[in-house]
Amino acid sequence: MLTEQHIEKRGIRDPEVLRVIRSVPRTEFVPPHLVHEAYDDRPLDIGYGATISQPYIVAAMTELLQLDRQHRVLEIGTGSGYQTAILAELAGEVFSIEVVPQLTASADGRLQRMGYRNIHVRNSDGYLGWPEESPFDRIILTAAPQELPEALVTQLSVNGKLIAPVGGQEQQQLIEVERDSVGRVKRRTVFPVLFVPMVKATIWS
């Protein structure tokens, strides 16, 4: 099984994260010609310069978020909607932004067909976040900006947490940002990663 071979053996311990990784069918989120590779522990191309992240990375980032049913989550980079669905299984409400119009439409339709009613997807510039719905208890980025957008940090609630890959294609780090009970922001590096670049909406306008 995927979770046994590639997730649990690599240190993911949260039982709820393991449960949803097992229960959400990854085959629903990959292109038809890649269904036979859906459970390989590697990213897969979904077109438009985007990928569906490898299962281990999805599980690791989700575990770092420490989600509960009270949380409102902002996701930057809907992509196929797989990470979105994982978040929706654990959080109260998910607001997901996708910059590519075609991916926005396909992911939104897929998630609705699968019965998710706590997900809101829109086509927009992830660098701007979703200010009218802020603050968010948790924020996750699934594409890498060169520098973390300050607009996203300002949309993080007190006692909130943000997980993001940051850096160029030569070197990226997964970072964790936390805003404490008095509003101070702390940042730490988790481990090296490699994500597709985060692009601005002007690329697709």
Q: What is the pLDDT of residues 152-166, one digit of tens each?
A: 999 999 999 999 999
133 near 95, Cβ under 8 Å? yes
Total residues found in the chain within this entry: 205
What CATH code is assigned to 2-204? 3.40.50.150
Per-residue pLDDT at 4: 60
Cα–Cα dist 79/73, whole Å:
16
Q: What is the pLDDT of residue 170?
A: 87
pLDDT, position 1:
55
Q: What percent of the chain has pLDDT over 70?
A: 96
pLDDT at 204: 52
Question: Most distant CA pair in the chain: distance in Å?
Answer: 50
Tens digit of each residue's pLDDT (9 = 90 or more) over 33-87: 999 999 998 999 999 999 999 999 999 999 999 999 999 999 999 999 999 999 9
Residue type, 169: Q
Do 176 and 64 contact (CB within 8 A), yes or no?
yes
Give me the active site residues, please.
53
Distance, in Å, from the CA atom of 41 to the CA atom of 159, rounded to the nearest integer, reads 32
CA 150 to chain centre: 18
Q: How far apart are CA 32 and CA 80, in angstroms?
A: 12
Answer yes or no: pTM beyond 0.85. Answer: yes
Residue 150, pLDDT above cutoff 80? yes
Q: Look at residue 144 in the predicted model and tell me its pLDDT.
A: 97
The answer for residues whose C-beta is within 8 angstroms of residue 88's C-beta and 6 or more apart is: 94, 111, 116, 118, 119
Q: What is the enclosing helix (H) or strand (E) of 42?
A: none
pLDDT of amino acid 5: 66
